[in-house]
Amino acid sequence: MINYTDLATNADGTKRGLKKKHVQMIAIGGTIGTGLFLGAGNSIAKTGPSILLVYAVLGAFFFLMMRGIGEMLYADPSQHTFVSFISKYVGRGAGYFAGWSYWIGLTFVAMAELTAVSTYVKFWFPHWQTWIIQVLFLLTLTLVNLVAVKVFGETEYWFAMIKIIAIIAMIVTGLFLIFTGFQAPATGGHTVASFSNISHHFSMFPNGSGMFFAAFPMVFFAFQGMEFVGITTAETQNPRDVLPRAINTIIIRILIFYLGAMVIIMSIINWHVIARTPDQSPFVMVFQLAGLKGAAAIINFVVLTSAASALNSAIYSAGRHFYQLAKESDNSLMTSFGKISTHGVPANAVLLTAALVLLSPIINAIPQITSAFTFITAISSNMYIIVYAMTMYAHRKFRQSTDYLPNGFTMPGYRITSPLTLSFFVAIYLSLFFQSDTRFSAIGALIFTLVFGHFAHRKFSNTAVTYTKERTSI
């Protein structure tokens, strides 16, 4: 067995430049997105205090998914993407479909985040041209990804640090208001800060069961990207030491950063007051109640950092995924994208991804395409659910293979949690068809899956799955 802890460079030339602190913070950054800072108000407006249950349930299933991915990556830390396990254990056709679908999804995510970055910058500089802001940010973060993986790691480290400080500051501020019996003014509904505000007149479905279940896909997409920490494994110095710790602490981060923040917010401000202005950040509301005059500007800086972090991660991840696609392709046009630069990064794959993301300023400049761009972005987001489900199925096939390490980093309660997690992802996707704002994008994702999936299956119909032997028992 290869001793991965002794390797500074992978066999393909990529550098193991990410340290333990980088992966720990990348894991946190992948858990916390703009959905928490800006979308918390909308989430609370839908279900009230029962949103805590939604976050807890989804957090538990995402944790189980990460344990499944972590189990496969622990067995083979050299893999650059978790999607490669779909090729290995399900089939090349399935891997081809998942790899391209995930890469396309990442590219559109990067476009959306680049659009968000320009919006947040214009908060301070409203007269700046949008396309100039987008080009400058994209060039800067592309250079970060091209120099060395260590530079990327340091950048993400500080991006995540800013988000953590903002959340902790809000929680500490909130605790101070609660323990001092702070009473909000009329804008805060005259609420007396207390933890009892959450349970007072509690209702599981304050706006009906439909709104409660509609919150699940919304929170699901807020957690989207958590798997990113697994993609960094191949470029960490000690993957088998770093990976278990990074994944196991995910559940703690969910409890502190999501549930903790939500508890504090609803303890200080009556959730009915938040529901009146769901588009306003509850973080801003809490800091304003505490007397911080620059609250809006501070939170805008935090969400700008969050969007830049998501863009940076999307470029990194998309570059590695396209590199993997190139390595698995027999097309001569893909050869150059399967090469590693002298800095130990898949530079050509990163540059191609950045070039496509550069289409975002052009798309945003054409009014007629705005709705189409939103629709395609929604489809790409919905594709993540399908890829996640395929990954969990690949994990089941991995468990049947000779690669399975019984004494490795195993998924807890596999016999129950594996089918339960897979069924949950299917249920989340089916729920999209029952909501008017997600139905058409879900149909679009389904059509894409049927058409492209059929093409991928036909392309590799005579190719066997690459693992050699199955176990007789799981």
The residues, any chain, with a CB within 8 Å of residue 388's CB and separated by 6 or more, are: 65, 227, 425
Amino acid making up residue 435: Q
**pLDDT of res. 236:** 72
- The whole-model pTM stands at 0.85
CA distance 32 to 168: 13
Q: Is residue 373 part of a domain?
A: yes
Give, for all 474 residues of the chain, the pLDDT tens digit: 444 444 456 555 555 556 666 666 666 666 677 777 877 888 899 899 999 999 999 999 999 999 999 999 999 887 767 888 999 999 989 999 999 998 998 898 888 889 888 889 999 999 999 889 999 999 999 999 898 778 888 888 888 889 889 989 999 999 999 999 999 888 777 889 999 999 888 888 899 888 898 888 888 888 887 887 766 665 677 788 888 888 888 788 778 888 999 999 999 998 989 998 888 889 898 998 888 888 889 999 998 998 898 888 889 888 888 988 888 888 888 888 888 888 788 889 999 999 999 888 787 777 766 666 677 778 888 888 999 999 999 999 999 999 999 999 999 999 999 999 999 999 999 999 988 888 999 999 999 999 999 999 898 876 655 554 444 444
**pLDDT of res. 375:** 77
**pLDDT of res. 2:** 43
Q: Is residue 276 part of a domain?
A: yes
Q: Is residue 377 part of a domain?
A: yes
**Torsion angles phi and psi, residue 471, rounded to 5:** -80, 155
Q: How many domains does the chain have?
A: 1
User: Which residue shows structure tokens 């769901």?
Assistant: 278
Structure tokens at 46: 């839908």
Report the CATH number that the domain containing residue 402 is assigned in CATH.
Answer: 1.20.1740.10
Is 435 in contact with 217 (CB distance < 8 Å)? yes
Is 304 in contact with 235 (CB distance < 8 Å)? no
**pLDDT of res. 271:** 92
CA distances from 330 to 96, 98, 455 (A): 12, 17, 16
**pLDDT of res. 5:** 45
CA distance 94 to 313: 25
Q: Is residue 471 part of a domain?
A: no
Q: Residue length, the chain?
A: 474
**pLDDT of res. 368:** 63
User: Which residue shows structure tokens 């991840």?
Assistant: 317
Domain holding 180, by residue range, is 11-459
**pLDDT of res. 27:** 63
Q: Is residue 464 part of a domain?
A: no
**pLDDT of res. 474:** 42
**pLDDT of res. 248:** 87
CA distances from 127 to 55, 122, 130, 430 (A): 38, 7, 9, 43
Q: Is residue 272 part of a domain?
A: yes
Q: Is residue 5 part of a domain?
A: no
- Residue burial 77-110, b: 16+ Cβ < 10 Å; e: rest: bbbbbbbbbbbbbbbbbbbbbbbbbbbbbbbbbb
CA distance 380 to 97: 13
CA distances from 411 to 73, 388, 415 (A): 12, 15, 9
**pLDDT of res. 29:** 65
Structure tokens at 200: 């007072």
**pLDDT of res. 1:** 43
Angle subtended at Cα 70 by Cα 254 and Cα 450, rounded to the nearest 5 degrees: 90
Is 308 in contact with 219 (CB distance < 8 Å)? no
Q: For residue 15, what is the enclosing H or E element?
A: none
